[in-house]
Structure 1
Amino acid sequence: MSEITLGRYLFERLNQVKVQTIFGLPGDFNLSLLDKIYEVDGLRWAGNANELNAAYAADGYSRVKGLSAIITTFGVGELSALNGIAGSYAEHVGVLHIVGVPSISSQAKQLLLHHTLGNGDFTVFHRMSSNISQTTAFIKDINSAPSEIDRAIRTAYVYQRPVYLALPANLVDDLVSSDLLKTPLDLSIKANDEEAEDEVIDAVLQLVKDAKNPVILVDACASRHDVKKETKDLIDATQFPTFVTPMGKGAVNEQHPRFGGVYVGTLSRPDVKEAVESADLVLSVGALLSDFNTGSFSYSYKTKNIVEFHSDHIKIRNATFPGVQFKHVLQKLVKAIPPVVADYVPHPVPQLKLTNSPASAETPLTQEWLWTQLGGWLREGDVVITETGTSAFGIVQTRYPANTTGISQVLWGSIGYSVGAALGAVAAAEEVDKEKRVILFVGDGSLQLTVQEISTMIRWGLTPYIFVLNNAGYTIERLIHGEKAGYNDIQEWDHQLLLQTFGAKNYESLKVSTVGEFNELAQDPAFAKNDKIRLIEIILPVMDAPDNLVKQAQLTASVNKQN
């Protein structure tokens, strides 16, 4: 065909960049657009339970594949998605948010349409989204529409931030040249200014040369902006002790001999805290220094020799180099650094010590036991998703196998995020490798916010592990404030009936409450194979929590009380 519809053009472009599952819900302003999904081989319309869950799913999908797309309808649909979109913006996740909007003529006549505010303003929701988007595109002309679509996709991928794309209902069936698809989308990042880049490299090499006790600290944006390989090469080239933040888990191979553990300021293990804070040079890759990621900003470096490598700038001590991107800098640094570190004698790194004493099979499960033992069941290539709460803090104690993808929303921290994100992650994982396991840890309270998305997993025959940590309510909130308060209670559910209720046929529902029951599962070869959707309810004491969460809650409560 010499011409195709604009709607099909959009989906052909998404398919070209391996976005193969589209999340969202139908609404009358996007129905004609949704028709075009079925014209493109290899695409799947997820059909979510609600727009918020769809946004969470798009976030989880993008963290596995690097880009995702969600489609909502004008007004009521797009606003329902914005909490999830804001989380993607805060945490550097590339999502294309496509909104079906009323026709150009309806907008021009300022018709009093449904889903509007009744004031003739058709741009108000676009303006809302502009504050949580890297860029926006409101299509008004068919001639420029293809290039605007290309710009939107490229921007979402390169900057790893949401992009808002509004498509009027009357334009999706208009025709554009199919020859435009022959030119591949350029998803490469632009070159740095050579002079500025060289200045950065020279300054870093001088700091490395003068350092006696340097460390590498890796954070979330190393994963989000795809510099995990460059970071690994830097670790291999220098042999510096390497640590991650809670949000950085999965960015570094935790089986690497130079990996020392997770640094969370005052909440770190004492040996990790000492190793990082006594360094005379910190090479920080992809930092996102939020309160929960830093132990309420309790970093206590004893040096000012800090180099921050970011996706769009580099900071060396007090000097900032705007526009110098870390991917190219790290590639160049890895090549230049070997002679500078030739005489470096590797400092020892802290060794992980399992704190659990042997427990009998009848011993009730605790958070401490679970998270320190979990690493023995995980396997290379797993995708591990943890909910904001006990799981996100507990997983810090778990040593990941190689090539594990860690997903948590530590900065934005929207309760219930992990269930939607698990749907997106398992859809993406299936497209990458059907043997790749997706493992969700979610509290019983968080689950109640977004449980409907389990039905979408079942609809598509997806096979995640859903570990429900049943501790009778919102434990993280109880720890911060209101241990006995009714607002931290929830209605008790029969979790063993959930998969059946949502129509699962190939499933397994289990309940474990003792060390012996968990060990029996972990040692079962059949359980290790992701051939069915599974819900495993883990019974835990109400106020039981990882030690670092207890301390974080105390810090948070203190901060909340400050004038």
Structure 2
Amino acid sequence: MKKRVGEYLMDALSTAGVKKVYGVPGDFNLTFLDDIVSRDDMEWVGNTNELNASYAADGYARLNGISAMVTTFGVGELSAVNGIAGSYAERVPVVAITGAPTTAVEEAGKYVHHSLGEGKFDNYRKMFKEITTAQGYITVDNAQTEIPRLINAAISEKRPVHLHLPIDVAQSEIDVKEAYKIPEPIHQDVSKYIEMIEQKLQTAKQPVIITGHEINSFKLHDELEQFVEQTQIPVAQLSLGKGAFNEESPFYMGIYDGSIAEEKIRDYVDNSDAILNIGAKLTDSATAGYSYGFDIDDVVMINHHDFKLNDTVTSEFTLPNLVDGLLNIQYKNETHFPENIRAEKGDYTIDNEPLTQETYFKMMQDFIGIDDIILAEQGTSFFGAYDLNLYKDNTFIGQPLWGSIGYTLPATIGTQMSDLYRRNILLIGDGSLQLTAQDISTMIREDLKPVIFVINNDGYTVERKIHGENQPYNDIHMWDYKLLPAVFGGKDKVAVHDVETSEDLKNVFLQIDKEPNQMHFIEVKMGALDAPEKLDAIGKAFSKQNS
């Protein structure tokens, strides 16, 4: 069957599960975009800039399992580099497609726009090598091998890939020999390593599981919970990967974040004689500056291509195979462990006093619905929200490893478009909002209906807690935030609210519940130095780490 290369590419992405494609048009991708907008099974979502497109694609992939974005050569693809790097760091499969000059132009070494004016066309592709798991230059001859290879790499590694697609190649016809098919998972024999883990557990007096983001990336929630129910080993989550384990489970203890963790959780984990680290990374932000009280060399590392138990180290095995192997372990924990205590409803005072971060998050705990998607921006929002107790069907999204402020606003476009029937709650601060606010326009154009809480605390509170509390570099110019929806064309589409007290916030919650089929934009005013307790502690840890 004859098809254009661009058509074949989009057929393959559709088969892989991509239904929305994010990006920004440019002259090196325009005719290729025709192959997207003409489809019945796919929608083009134009963003306000390429960085925001990369964030939106990241958000979409976190829920959907894979995403795609399209930029133009040079200026476009480099604007997306930050977002793609974040997807690489946090294991999110994004297919980044660059519409490039024609092969004739590249072969002739012409000085075209968006190039560096040196007749070279591989500069930017080299830049992507360090932040993608696979890269490819698509030609007419290799399209049917390279495109499947790259998509398969994104799926198997849960990391972004980069396709350099000359515009003439995209429009060239090929004889498609076989339609793209998602490959069957490869089964690996991990029994040797599972036996080693079982032997360690058999002698353990106080076992524990630490889990995190790779469980979310590979969507291994059910398998992990089955293993926990079989063995009755308690689970602590890292903030990096919150939502990896069912927080309603009787075997869930809570968040472990080093020295600032709740005392009973910290003591149990730090004194464990068998720590199974399943799909987690012990980063500085997740452990309050590496303040864990155990010897990391004693931890059993069970991650993707990263298994370690004592002197046995291998990168051969995938996380899905390792987790599947855990289900064969014959062991039952009988040690008592601390239980997660869910916050009581209404554990706060409703009054007309200035709202504090502490009360804000206590009230937010009661507001969260059973299947909401919660996005918490890397700032006071994240450090206040990661201690919230989730329901089994909630999804929690933050970016604490890469930590690029502004990420969550465009990411909300992707998460909301992945499932229009689930409510998205975005918790973001004013400093972060100012980086990516333009894509409120995209939300309005696409008729999305998230609930956006913007904390207006006059600047970069995270940075103030680390260094320079009163320095001008941590200040931002004050915006009239409540006017933004109108500026971006949503005057009659977006409900705008103003919150200064707990009484205000209670009333806003009631209005949101009464009008669920509308986008809500809430400006929440709080003190510049008011911060969640965890942020105060982590700020001190980061300050010490940087000195």
TM-score band w.r.t. shorter chain? over 0.9
2:398 to 398, 401, 408: 408
1:350 Cα deviation after fit: 4.5
1:173 to 151, 171, 194: 171
Q: Which aligned pairs between 1:489-508 and structure 2 lie closer than 5 A?
A: 489-504=475-490, 505-508=492-495
Partners of 2:345 and 2:366 within 8 A in 1: no
Residue 107 (structure 2) pairs with residue 101 (structure 1) = no
1:519 Cα deviation after fit: 2.2
Residue 538 (structure 2) pairs with residue 552 (structure 1) = yes
Distance 1:238 1:124, change over 3 A: same
Residue 145 (structure 2) pairs with residue 147 (structure 1) = yes
Distance 1:3 1:528, change over 3 A: farther
Q: Deviations over 1:391-430 (max 9, x none)?
A: 1111122111112111111011111111111111111122
Q: What does residue 539 of structure 1 align with?
A: 525
Q: Deviations over 1:455-494 (max 9, x none)?
A: 0111110111111011011111111111111111111111
Residue 518 (structure 2) pairs with residue 522 (structure 1) = no
Q: What does residue 43 of structure 2 align with?
A: 44
Residue 339 (structure 2) pairs with residue 349 (structure 1) = yes
Q: What does residue 471 of structure 1 align with?
A: 457
Q: Which aligned pairs between 1:198-209 and structure 2 lie closer than 5 A?
A: 198-209=191-202
2:353 to 363, 369, 372: 363
Q: Provide the alpha-carbon RMSD of the alignment.
A: 1.8
Q: In 2, Cα distance between the equivalents of 1:357 and 1:439?
A: 21
Q: Which aligned pairs between 1:364-513 and structure 2 lie closer than 5 A?
A: 364-430=354-420, 434=421, 436-504=422-490, 505-513=492-500
Q: What does residue 317 of structure 1 align with?
A: 310
Q: Which aligned pairs between 1:265-304 and structure 2 lie closer than 5 A?
A: 265-301=258-294
Q: What does residue 241 of structure 2 align with?
A: 248
Q: What does residue 133 of structure 1 align with?
A: 132
- Of 313-322 and 394-403, more deviation after overlay is shown by 313-322
1:238 Cα deviation after fit: 1.4
Secondary structure of residue in 2 paired with 1:251: coil
Partners of 1:137 and 1:166 within 8 A in 2: yes
Secondary structure of residue in 2 paired with 1:60: helix
1:358 Cα deviation after fit: 4.0
Give TM-score scaled by structure 1 length. Answer: 0.94
Secondary structure of residue in 1 paired with 2:281: coil
Distance 1:345 1:162, change over 3 A: same
Secondary structure of residue in 1 paired with 2:374: strand
Q: In 1, Cα distance between the equivalents of 2:99 and 2:368?
A: 41
Q: In 2, Cα distance between the equivalents of 1:21 and 1:111?
A: 34
Q: In 2, Cα distance between the equivalents of 1:260 and 1:368?
A: 22
Q: What does residue 185 of structure 1 align with?
A: 182
Q: In 2, Cα distance between the equivalents of 1:547 and 1:495?
A: 26
Q: In 2, Cα distance between the equivalents of 1:116 and 1:347?
A: 60
Q: In 1, Cα distance between the equivalents of 2:315 and 2:204?
A: 25
Secondary structure of residue in 2 paired with 1:171: helix
Q: In 1, Cα distance between the equivalents of 2:363 and 2:449?
A: 23
- The residue identity in structure 1 corresponding to 2:473 is Y
Q: In 2, Cα distance between the equivalents of 1:393 and 1:318?
A: 36
1:537 Cα deviation after fit: 1.1
- Of 371-380 and 401-410, more deviation after overlay is shown by 371-380
1:252 Cα deviation after fit: 1.1
Q: In 2, Cα distance between the equivalents of 1:497 and 1:450?
A: 16
Q: What does residue 331 of structure 2 align with?
A: 340
Q: What does residue 114 of structure 1 align with?
A: 113
Counting aligned pairs with the same residue, the percent is: 35
Partners of 2:19 and 2:42 within 8 A in 1: yes
- The residue identity in structure 1 corresponding to 2:161 is V
Residue 260 (structure 2) pairs with residue 260 (structure 1) = no
- Of 353-362 and 70-79, more deviation after overlay is shown by 353-362
Secondary structure of residue in 1 paired with 2:523: strand
Distance 1:406 1:353, change over 3 A: closer
- The residue identity in structure 1 corresponding to 2:239 is P
- The residue identity in structure 2 corresponding to 1:189 is P
Partners of 1:49 and 1:453 within 8 A in 2: yes
1:305 Cα deviation after fit: 4.3
Distance 1:300 1:38, change over 3 A: same
1:18 Cα deviation after fit: 1.8
Q: Deviations over 1:41-87 (max 9, x none)?
A: 12111110001111111111111111111101111111111011111
Q: What does residue 15 of structure 1 align with?
A: 14
Secondary structure of residue in 1 paired with 2:79: helix
Q: In 2, Cα distance between the equivalents of 1:69 and 1:329?
A: 28
Q: Deviations over 1:155-214 (max 9, x none)?
A: 111101110101111111111234522x5221x43222x2xx111011011111111211
Partners of 2:348 and 2:359 within 8 A in 1: no
Q: What does residue 68 of structure 1 align with?
A: 67
Q: Deviations over 1:421-449 (max 9, x none)?
A: 1111111122xxx2x01111110111000
1:354 Cα deviation after fit: 5.9
Q: Deviations over 1:197-243 (max 9, x none)?
A: 11101101111111121111111111112221211111111122211
Distance 1:350 1:305, change over 3 A: farther
Distance 1:273 1:47, change over 3 A: same
Q: In 2, Cα distance between the equivalents of 1:175 and 1:303?
A: 55
Q: How many residues are aligned here?
A: 546
Partners of 1:219 and 1:251 within 8 A in 2: yes
Partners of 2:348 and 2:362 within 8 A in 1: no
- Of 98-107 and 479-488, more deviation after overlay is shown by 479-488
Q: In 2, Cα distance between the equivalents of 1:15 and 1:530?
A: 31
Q: In 1, Cα distance between the equivalents of 2:326 and 2:514?
A: 41
Q: In 1, Cα distance between the equivalents of 2:455 and 2:382?
A: 12
Secondary structure of residue in 1 paired with 2:386: helix
1:529 Cα deviation after fit: 5.6
Q: In 2, Cα distance between the equivalents of 1:353 and 1:37?
A: 47
- Of 267-276 and 318-327, more deviation after overlay is shown by 318-327
Q: What does residue 3 of structure 2 align with?
A: 4
